[in-house]
Every structure is written in C-alpha cells, then in structure tokens.
Homo-oligomer: A and B are copies of this chain.
Amino acid sequence: MVAWKGETEIMIKNFLMTPGPTPVPPEVLLAMAKPIIHHRTPQFQKILQEVEENLKYIFQTREDVMILTSSGTGAMESAVSNLLSPKDKAITVQGGKFGERWTELCQAYGVETVIINVEWGKAVDPKVIADTLAKTKAKAVFTTLCETSTGVITDIKAIAEVTKKTDAVLVVDAISGLGAVECRMDEWGIDAVISGSQKGLMIPPGLAFIAVSQKAWKLVEQSKCPKYYFDLKAAKKAVAKTDTPWTPAITLVIGLNEALKILKQETLEGIINRHKKMAKACREAAKALGLKLYSPTASSDAVTAVEVPQGIDGEKLVKTMRDEYGVGIAGGQAQLKGKVFRIASMGYMNQFDIIVAISCLETVLSKMGYKFELGAGVKAAQKVFLE
C-alpha cells in the first residue's frame, strides 16, 4: 500500500515486520486473487490433498493435520474441548499473554487448572513440569512454543521427554514458531501441535491447524465437553475423504498450497537456518545499539523483544516507524505496553527485511534523541549475515 505524508510530500512504502500477520509472498497473493472455485470439486480436492501432505512435512508428523477455518485461538479451543472433560485436571504454563489463554480456555470448559507461573521473559524449567505432573497427576500439559508477547522460546523437546514417561499429554501452541523454528512432533513426542496461518506459514490469518497423536486421540474418544464446529472427530473423518466438515476458507487454502510449496522447496533445515540468522542479527543489532533484550536467556528465533531505553516513548517509537516510515514492528502487549518493542523474523522475510527494520529503528531512535553510534546496528546485523 502506498501512503502519503501530507498532500504532495513523500511516498511511503510499507514493510511488515510484525509477529503475525507476516508478509505474504506475491505468488500466494495472486493465487488467492484467482476466480474462486467450489470446494466440493475434484479441482479443490487436488489442492487439499497437496496441502495435507505438505502440512505433515512442516508439522513433522505422520498424523493427520486438521484444517480449521478460524484464528489460532479456535484451534487452541479445539484442543481443550476435544481432549478434556469438565473437572479434568490440566497444567497450564503462563509466562505471557498466550500462556494465559490456555488457562482461560480450560476454565471456560470447567477444566481444573494447575497454573505454573513463569516470570515474563524467562522459559519454564522442564523439571518444574515434571514435579507438578508427579504431584497433581494432571491429564494434560498446555504450553507455548514461542510466546509472542515476550519473545521467549520454550524447550518443548525437554518437556516432551517428561510427559512421554507419564499418562499426561503434551499440547503445544506453535501458532508462532511453526515453519520458523524447530518443532518435531513425532520425533520429540508431542501429543498435539497447534498452528495458525499468518505466521511462519506465510498466508493471511483465517486458518488454524491441529495434529493429534495416537496417545491424545484416546482422550478425544473420552471427552465430554460440548463441541460442534471444532469437533475433531468430524474434522478427522473429513480428512479421510480429503474434505472439510464445514465450508473452508477456500482462497486461504489455495494460498496455503502455494506457500507450502515454497517452504518445502527451501526445506525445513533451510527455513530454520534462515530464521536463526535473522533473529541473531536482530539480537546483535540491538546489543550494538546499547539496547537490552527482554528475554536474553531464551530469545526465540521467530520474534525478538527489546526493552525500550529510558527516556524514549515506546509507543511513539512504534507508531513513528509505522506511520512516518512505513515499517511495521510490534509494541508491547498487556503489562509490557510501552516497555518493549518486538521485531519479527518469521515467514516471508530475509536478511534485507531485517536490515530495513534495524535501519528504520536507528533512524527513529536518532530523531527521538537516543544516543548511539549511527549505523552500529546495521553493521552488527550485516556481520551476522556474512558469517
């Protein structure tokens, strides 16, 4: 979108560096702009079949990946309402806004929650989960791969080592992170992986995904929570016929097919390495500018949260970058409002998007009176990409 400053002033070109939605490749946008086709046709079925296959690759699973037309929160709800029953006990890990959502969801369905509160900016210690599981015999552990609100990555592999040895199932909100950082469902032994369309998968929001292990499927069979639209038995039955139980967001599925082909061509290894470099460049740039990382011990490769330096108005920083320069980064959410800014390194982005973000950050910080050596951030980022 071209925007203008004043009437005849300067053309603004937009760069989107937010942790969802993330930029959509032009091939995907154009595929979605084709005249719509009906979903109960051989034409659409062929697309759905390719999507199903490629989603399994991204999820690193042999299980069916069920496609829901909703935001990621809808798929999170499907995990709670399909795996559990009222009065069941579940552990929720709360170290940010999205961890808290698990607690709210469980409580909405009358599930008893054992909350592990983690200081924002830190990752949960898998030992705490082991101890809590041993004590409470909870049926499920609800976690977050990459907590978008704080930029923290959770050691899901280590947590799966814990849950694997128990009857409890491990549910991972990988909405932020899947298709950007490592998350090996089958190999690690995760029981339910949830994702959304507008992050690593590079398409607009509107689709959500859930894959469920054999161990977790047994809980689905026992679940007594009411459900209909998010009924996973209906979804699984439909997958078996290369169909969806309800009318899907057809154009988004068509876009997803193109996006998955791009991701598959890069390979998961390539994708993960690209994200590692981009995030490292963000972190090194921030440090070179004398800024502090909000989550220095567990900073994820999908989004980097940086503390707003003293004397700088954090909300104005984000607003100026977006409205005056067209570079969209994210501010802080909830208790972090005005205290951090967040730069995504997720999806259809490469090293030069990061350079643009850092360059714009330097430009606006400079204008706002923050003292630093101009160019130091960009230089540090470039150094990482040259490694």
Contacts and interface: CB of A to CB of B under 8 A. Distances in A.
Given A204-B250, A206-B206, A229 B38 contact: no
A39 B16 CA distance: 12
A105 B231 CA distance: 11
Interface in A63-78: 69-74, 77
A247 B21 contact: yes
Interface in A157-198: 196, 198
The quantity of this chain's copies bound in the complex is 2
Given A35-B24, A69-B69, A252 B250 contact: no
A189 to B, nearest CB: 27
Given A24-B36, A35-B23, A37-B1, A196 B229 contact: no
22 contacts: A1-B34, A1-B35, A16-B37, A16-B38, A21-B36, A23-B35, A24-B36, A32-B33, A32-B251, A36-B204, A37-B328, A42-B323, A71-B246, A71-B249, A72-B246, A77-B228, A104-B228, A108-B226, A109-B226, A198-B247, A204-B250, A206-B252
A265 B43 CA distance: 34
Contacts of A204: 36, 249-252
A73 B246 contact: yes
A37 B104 CA distance: 28
A227 interface: yes
A126 interface: no
A249 B252 contact: yes
B14 A35 contact: yes
A380 to B, nearest CB: 27
Contacts of A231: 108
A322 interface: yes
